[in-house]
Amino acid sequence: MSITHQPLNPHLGQTVFITGAAGTIGKAVALAFSQLGANLAVMDRVAPEVLGNLKAELLAAGAGKVCEIHGDLADVQAHERWVHQIEEELGDIHCLINNAGVGAPRRADMLELTPEAFDAVMDINVRGTFFLTQKVMTQMLQQKQISHPRSIINVSSISVDVASTERAEYCLSKSALGMLTKLLALRLADANIPVFDLRPGITHSGMTKPVEARYDKLIAEGLVPIGRWGEGEDMADIAISLASGKFAFATGTVIQADGGLTIPRL
């Protein structure tokens, strides 16, 4: 394996695979990489025309090439096909951003949680994420010429540690991603592929839209020390930095992107 000279802009020509790319965070991340000339593989289960519009927007923003992948992360049988499609259209995958995820189908007392709701969340947030990552890391380990920094970024949540009894299935799934980051970091360390756990706090997204008024009130009352919501662009700025190759020795690191919410206070 040989590592070629890295350009001043490590993202120019870098191939970045983003799951859940049509959502608030995913789209912001994709646009940020596009503006730096990266090649993007964007996967989501939204309508194909929505992905098509996203592709056009990313190309207009400066992306080198864009590969559209329409599918459901829970469909683990499709994962290998997706990786092959990216290889054919864009070449080697340099960065995987595991952003796709779903919230609790219904916020309610955990005594009311059904096996169906539990499985629906776990199938995407944990099972789908694990097996897609398995396919991508296999491809990464087979690469011969390394022209760009490589990394895996898991977008989990402060719910790894912060419990919400009305969405137990979501919290459990995100806690599993915290352990997945550790496992991946250990497995990929000798290949110099760092793995990071990006944990958004209260962030504007489709998932938080139904409880926006509640969170507005909590933020106004001081729940978030920085005093505002997180935005997709906040997460994009962090993802760009983590994928730059400059944090390789920090593999397994957790980034609390929550405005100070989880800092213990008296």
Catalytic positions are: 170
Dmax (CA) of the chain: 56
CB 67 within 8 A of CB 42: yes
Give the residue among 108, 112, 197, 116 at the shortest CA–CA distance from 160.
197
Q: How far apart are CA 183 and CA 199, in angstroms?
A: 17
What's the count of helices (H) and strands (E) in the chain, helices before strands?
A: 8, 9
Strand partners, 40: 16, 66
Strand partners, 44: 70
CB 21 within 8 A of CB 82: no
Q: How far apart are CA 56 and CA 202, in angstroms?
A: 29
